[in-house]
Chains A and B, each alone.
Chain A
Amino acid sequence: MRTRLFSILIAFAAALGAQAEGSAGYKEKLYILSSADDDMTVVDVATNKIVGAVTVGALPHGIAAPGSHKLLYVATEGEEHGVTVVDPFNDKAIEKYSVFGKRPNEIDITSDGRYLYLPARGECHYEVFDTVKELPITRIPVDGYPHNVVVSPDDRFMYLSAYDRGSLSAENARKAGECPTLNKKIYVVDVKTHEVAATIDTLEAPRPIAVSPDGKRLYANTDNLMGFVTLDLENRKLLYRSEYVLTDDESATPSRSHGIGATPDNKEVWSTNINHGFVHVFDVTADPPKQIAKLETGRTPLWLTMTPDGSTVYIANTADDTISVFDAKTKKERTRIQLPKGKAPKRMLVLRIPNG
């Protein structure tokens, strides 16, 4: 009797959940690129269960969606050197473009879905793809290795983050098929002209970047910094260099910060620490930003993303093929999603897909 009552309660709760989701007018799905494979895993955000996989091409490296969330673009670094377009309603690849330079990395797109910016890592430039003309329309040469790009919330600027060869000699970089120049700045590109409007110094080679939801600040992981720098985008200057708070034991072990995100309320920045297996949370309402939490993740947390409402933070633990799911408010790990072995999850994105 008790079991039956329990089952009824569960069914009732599930129905309520479905109704809530339906009444919200959307369904949220998390897309996780398998950086060592040729597909991406699809997770239902409501349940944190894997609901499918989409084959997109070898070594997917970049993921972006326009503001409508009705399409998904995935850059593949493998043999296809292209971009796959995915229909998120049915989770199927619907188009493939193979017109890009070598080794496309992390991409971003304007919210109207018109201009896709794509770092061609093997070519030392970024490419701008017009999705209406279905053609690359211009190239933006940069110093360093084209690697990441993020669009401003008002669509006016693209911020390009190219890292560099570091201590590797220019000759050895060339031999390895990499760009020989050094770079320690963020490029600010005007989306109207697709030309560089300014650069902002980052002290060291920039890595993953995140723009604050109000568009006023840019946060960047950099080489040789366990932490991140804060850039003032209005005055285009470096504001702060924030280091993770670590114990002496932790500091003795080399690591790297690689994976950063700003919460939609403009209050926190979450940033990963790959060899110690942490995500560090900073209060960015304080000047300078102040670390308020250090949370354990899985092995080699290399990327993070958030739900659009900022309630959930997903960390991709590349070395153990898991995703840590954190409650942003309580800073507790809700669950850990185990992916099939060998997927090496990295870039991720949550899509809020309209019903119907």
Chain B
Amino acid sequence: MPADRDDTFTEQRPDRRRVCPRIRRMSRTSRGKTRRRLLRFAAAVMGLPPASAQRKKQRKESLSAFVPLLEPAWFSAADFPRPWSAFPFPARCPVLGSAEPPPREIRLQGVVLRLPDSGSEASFKAYCLTCPHEICQVNLTTETKGVELATERLPKNPLFVCPCHFSAFDPLADGGRLAGPTHRGLYRFRLEARGGSVAILEIERAALV
């Protein structure tokens, strides 16, 4: 009986495992390698991408909370002369699951804004204007009487407020929910602010689900 086959039963034979656990592990690994090689060969014959590469890609996609835009949006930092300066932009996003080129497209409206400075450098945030509640377009506004009436709280800074059902979101708290029927905060974009430019690169995956 080949050693590796014998080793498959080592769990029922504690004496052997205790004696030579390292040999057992190596044998099992080498057997798995052979199987993987065979599967890889079969996949290559059938013209399929390697399973491990697929798995890796799937795992990466499912773990990544952000998805690259089809086309990044660029701004100059000089376009934002003061805190709360804001610019809307159309975000071209891929439809999830449409991997074949060209991916199908969904267009969402975003806004990038300069937050009140906390240090020497300006800080920026970009949010998707689609309300997670019922896909109306939220507005950045200081007209927050509806929020006050609904929550009996007086907002201290401009908020994103949905005109449909008055869900309110705080730009200073990562777009988090302040009030209203929404179950979560605004969807976010990932951006890079560097060397005088602001690049909007990715959108939160949940926005595309």
Q: Which positions 307-324 of chain A face chain B at CB distance < 8 Å? A: 318-319
> Is the Cβ of A302 less than 8 Å from the Cβ of B164?
yes
Name the contact of A37 in the complex, choosing from B107, B135, B136, B146 (C-beta under 8 A).
B146
- Determine how close the nearest CB of chain B comes to the CB of A38; give it in whole angstroms: 7
Report Cα–Cα, A275/B181, bound state, in Å.
19
Give complex CA distance A318, B145 in Å: 14
Asked whether, in the complex, the Cβ of B136 is within 8 Å of the Cβ of A300, the reply is: yes
A265 → chain B, closest Cβ, in Å? Answer: 31
A residues less than 8 Å from B122 (CB atoms): none
Contact with B along A77-93 (1 / 0, CB 8 A): 01100000000000000
Task: Find out whether the CB atom of A275 lies under 8 angstroms from the CB atom of B137.
Answer: yes
**Residue A210 is within 8 A (CB to CB) of chain B in the complex:** no
A253 interface contact, C-beta 8 A? yes
> What is the CB-to-nearest-CB distance from B123 to chain A, in angstroms, rounded to a whole number?
27
Contact with B along A153-172 (1 / 0, CB 8 A): 00000000000000010001
- Give the chain A neighbours of B166 by CB distance below 8 A: 35-36, 344
Give the docked Cα–Cα distance between A38 and B150 (Å): 11
Q: Are A341 and B137 in contact (CB under 8 A)?
A: no
> Is A132 an interface position by the 8 A CB rule?
no
> In chain B between 134 and 187, which residues have their CB closer than 8 angstroms to a CB of chain A?
134-137, 139, 143, 145-146, 149-150, 163-164, 166, 181, 183
B180 to chain A: closest residue by CB: A176
Determine whether the beta carbon of A256 is less than 8 Å from that of B136: yes
B residues contacting the other copy or chain, number (CB 8 A): 21
CB distance from A141 to the nearest CB of B (A): 21
Count how many pairs of residues, one from A and one from B, have CB atoms less than 8 Å apart in the complex.
66
Answer yes or no: A356 CB below 8 A from chain B CBs. no
Interface string of B97-120 (1 = CB under 8 A from A): 000000001111100000000000
Taking CB atoms, residues of chain A closer than 8 Å to B137 are 274-275, 299-300, 319
Known: A36-B163, A172-B183, A342-B143. 20 other contacts (CB 8 A): A36-B149, A36-B166, A37-B145, A37-B146, A37-B149, A38-B149, A59-B149, A78-B149, A78-B150, A79-B149, A178-B181, A253-B106, A254-B106, A254-B135, A255-B135, A256-B135, A275-B137, A302-B164, A319-B139, A344-B163
Q: Check: A1 CB closer than 8 A to any chain B CB.
A: no
Chain A residue contacts of B135, Cβ below 8 A: 254-256, 275
Q: Closest residue to A344 on the B side, CB-wise? A: B163
A37 to B150, CA, bound (A): 10
Task: Tell yes or no: B27 within 8 A of A by CB.
Answer: no
- What is the predominant secondary structure among interface residues of chain A facing chain B? loop
- Does residue B10 face the partner (Cβ distance < 8 Å to A)? no
Are B106 and A252 in contact, CB atoms less than 8 angstroms apart? Answer: yes
Q: Which of A37, A38, A172, A252 has the most CB of B within 10 A?
A: A252
Which B residues touch A342, using CB under 8 A? 143, 145-146
Contact of A176 with B181 in the complex, beta carbons under 8 Å: yes
Point out the residue from A58, A79, A299, A341 that lies within 8 Å of B143, measured CB to CB. Answer: A341
A residues near B108, Cβ cutoff 8 Å: 253-254
How far does the alpha carbon of A135 sit from the alpha carbon of B152 in the complex, in Å? 29
With A254-B135, A275-B136 known to touch, is A319 a contact of B163 (CB < 8 Å)? Answer: yes
**When each residue 173-204 of chain B gets 1 if its CB lies under 8 Å from chain A and 0 otherwise, what string results?**
00000000101000000000000000000000
B149 to chain A: closest residue by CB: A58
Nearest A residue to B146 via CB reads: A36
B-chain residues with CB within 8 Å of residue A256 when the two chains form the complex: 134-136
Interchain CB contact under 8 A, B149 and A302 = no
